[in-house]
């Protein structure tokens, strides 16, 4: 359903601030006939409607040059999936004539591609909208849009409608292919354009992309998630699991190989559930990777996996090595089975540790990373201790750690958040201290060894230093000629820190490790 907000906010340059008493209204009441606000209730439904594969995307003729002489700026928050969505939007805007700018000051279109995973991410977006109010005042013809996962939340849409009249466009994760029409409506209607679908969305195959760099490429293999972990908003904002067909993915990877990309990462909210929604063939992530590994791409990765769907076929293929890197990101979230049950993770501590053992047996040099939440509702000290003991047993190379924050509309948000913040912070400190010690010890084992590093660019801290990743996802900093950017080179490790390695570039042949 395409939607325009009518009779609510006038977003022309002389619009005045919304009065305080109006900010508390639910503006969805004004859209009974023209606008259905995004609904978490509707988003949770997993209908049997067949997902359509659309291959006829094109920019309408009347919009192909609408951006000539104009510039766009996209700020991306959150995960690699959002980064990939940004690449698609940039590709569409380029085909409409727009050029990229890296400053909001001279942009004609500004898009905030948002993340809804945590409250802090949302607060950053609202803060940025406040800053951009002045930019909009200085340039009334500027189009300001909010897209991505936050746009799929009804509370967010209502807040933007009531509090941020400087926004011209709101569109969701399922509507990116309609960006040309959304911009057209915003340009010519001079009203806020709201287009958000709570339905799962179709798969649009031939969308243009302007990829970030030409070294590492991201390839979506599926969309959505059906796990419904109690703390997570993603299944609501991204819809049900929908897999792309293998031939379309393989052709995209082949094209990246032809263009000289050195690394490809297969993406999905729950990437190893790939293929489980197919009704006409039996084909999973292991099968897909077994085919893609034969393509002439030096490195092949995937993220993010769910322990519930990590099957033996995938492990069998990962064990073949070659261009499949020896790094697996395997989010555990917690070390206690009772808390995992409250989280609806659908596996136990014992199942997770058994899976880790299988992976380590098949990939002896594997680097394991994870996600962990502390302070989930009802978490006791004893349960937190089980997280610490699991971390000690698994010996992760790195981890993303978070203090639990409730997301409106999720089941966990209805639970009593009864772990005091000071306790959460103290537990996070203890957890991070243990992880840092383990990471440092693992990194020290690399000193003296020669590793292969994909050189990605200059270090942000020192332009005279190059930086890149090993196959096991270790960050390596070293001095070398700039022409090596984009190449895979050998580096002898001389220094180990908690989160990165230092080394010296070597040209001679040496025995190489991960």
Sequence-ordered list of residues with C-beta below 8 angstroms from that of 245, at least 6 positions apart, any chain? 53
Q: 196, 171 in Cβ contact below 8 A?
A: yes
Helix H segments across 139-168? 154-163
Q: Rg of the chain's alpha carbons, rounded to an integer?
A: 24
What does each C-alpha distance from 382 to 374, 386, 414 come to in angstroms?
12, 7, 23
SS3 content of the chain, % helix, strand, coil (to 5): 35, 20, 45
- Secondary structure class of 132 (helix, strand, coil): helix
**Which residue reads 């179709």 in tokens?**
202
> 79 a known binding residue?
yes
Six-digit token pair at 411?
């089941």
Q: Is 147 annotated as a binding residue?
A: no
Q: How far apart are CA 375 and CA 55, in angstroms?
A: 45
**Token pair belonging to 96:** 């409409």
Distances, alpha carbon 274 to alpha carbons 54, 147, 270, 281, 479, in Å: 19, 25, 8, 12, 40
Decide: 475 and 467 in contact? Cβ < 8 Å: yes
Q: In what helix (H) or strand (E) does residue 398 lie, and over which residues does it extend? A: strand 398-403
The token pair at 276 is 């489980």
404 class by beta-carbon count within 10 Å (0-12 exposed, 13-18 middle, 19+ buried): buried
- Tell me which H or E stretch contains 186: helix 179-189
Cβ-proximal residues to 481 (8 Å cutoff; 6+ apart), any chain: none
Provide the 3-class DSSP secondary structure of residue 512.
strand
Q: Are 286 and 314 in contact (CB under 8 A)?
A: yes
- The answer to whether 149 is a known ligand-binding residue is yes
Task: Please give the Cα distance from 250 to 291 (Å, whole number).
Answer: 8
Number of Cβ atoms within 10 Å of the Cβ of 418: 10
Alpha carbon 414 to chain centroid, angstroms: 26
Q: Do 221 and 253 form a contact (C-beta atoms < 8 A)?
A: no
Q: Are the beta carbons of 485 and 456 closer than 8 angstroms?
A: yes
C-alpha of 290 from chain center: 24
CB 442 within 8 A of CB 397: yes
Cβ–Cβ under 8 Å, residues 362 and 324: no
Q: Which residues are annotated as a binding site for [4Fe-4S] cluster?
A: 79, 115, 149, 225, 229, 232
Q: Which residues are annotated as a binding site?
A: 79, 115, 149, 225, 229, 232
């Amino acid at each position: 359903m395409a939607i325009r907000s009518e009779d609510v906010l006038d977003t022309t340059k002389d619009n005045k601030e919304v009065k305080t008493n109006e900010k508390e209204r639910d503006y969805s009441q004004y859209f009974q006939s023209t606008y259905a606000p995004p609904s978490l209730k509707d988003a949770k439904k997993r209908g049997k409607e067949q997902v359509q594969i659309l291959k006829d995307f094109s920019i309408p003729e009347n919009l192909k040059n609408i951006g000539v002489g104009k510039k766009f700026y996209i700020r991306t928050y959150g995960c690699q999936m959002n980064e990939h969505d940004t690449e698609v939007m940039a590709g569409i805007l380029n085909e409409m004539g727009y050029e990229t700018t890296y400053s909001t000051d001279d942009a004609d279109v500004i898009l905030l591609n948002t993340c809804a995973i945590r409250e802090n991410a949302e607060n950053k977006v609202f803060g940025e909208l406040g800053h951009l109010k002045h930019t909009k005042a200085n340039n009334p013809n500027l189009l300001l849009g909010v897209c991505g996962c936050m746009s799929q939340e009804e509370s967010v849409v209502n807040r933007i409608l009531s509090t941020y009249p400087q926004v011209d466009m709101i569109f969701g994760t399922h509507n990116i292919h309609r960006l040309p029409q959304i911009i057209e409506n915003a340009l010519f209607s001079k009203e806020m354009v709201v287009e958000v679908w709570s339905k799962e969305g179709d798969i649009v195959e031939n969308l243009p992309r302007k990829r970030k760099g030409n070294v590492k490429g991201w390839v979506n293999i599926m969309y959505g998630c059906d796990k419904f972990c109690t703390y997570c908003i993603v299944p609501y904002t991204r819809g049900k699991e929908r897999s792309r067909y293998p031939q379309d993915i393989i052709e995209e990877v082949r094209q990246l190989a032809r263009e000289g990309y050195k690394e490809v990462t297969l993406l999905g909210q729950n990437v190893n559930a790939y293929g489980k929604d197919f009704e006409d063939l039996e084909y999973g992530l292991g099968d897909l990777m077994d085919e893609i590994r034969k393509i002439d791409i030096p490195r092949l990765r995937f993220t993010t996996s769910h322990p519930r769907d990590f099957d033996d076929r995938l492990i069998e293929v990962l064990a073949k090595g070659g261009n499949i890197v020896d790094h697996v990101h395997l989010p555990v979230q917690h070390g206690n089975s009772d808390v995992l049950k409250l989280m609806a993770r659908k596996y136990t501590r014992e199942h997770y540790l058994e899976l880790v053992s299988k992976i380590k047996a098949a990939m002896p040099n594997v680097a394991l990373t994870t996600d962990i939440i502390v302070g989930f509702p009802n978490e006791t000290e004893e349960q937190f201790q089980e997280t610490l003991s699991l971390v000690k047993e698994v010996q992760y190379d790195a981890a993303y750690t978070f203090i639990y924050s409730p997301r409106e509309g999720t089941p966990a948000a209805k639970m009593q958040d009864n772990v005091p913040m000071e306790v959460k912070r103290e537990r996070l400190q203890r957890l991070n201290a243990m992880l840092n010690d383990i990471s440092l010890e693992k990194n020290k084992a690399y000193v003296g060894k020669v590793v292969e590093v994909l050189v990605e660019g200059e270090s942000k801290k020192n332009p005279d230093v190059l930086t890149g990743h090993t196959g096991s996802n270790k960050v390596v900093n070293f001095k070398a000629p700039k022409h090596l950017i984009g190449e895979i080179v050998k580096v002898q490790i001389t220094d180990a820190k908690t989160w990165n390695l230092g080394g010296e570039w070597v040209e001679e042949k040496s025995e190489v490790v991960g």
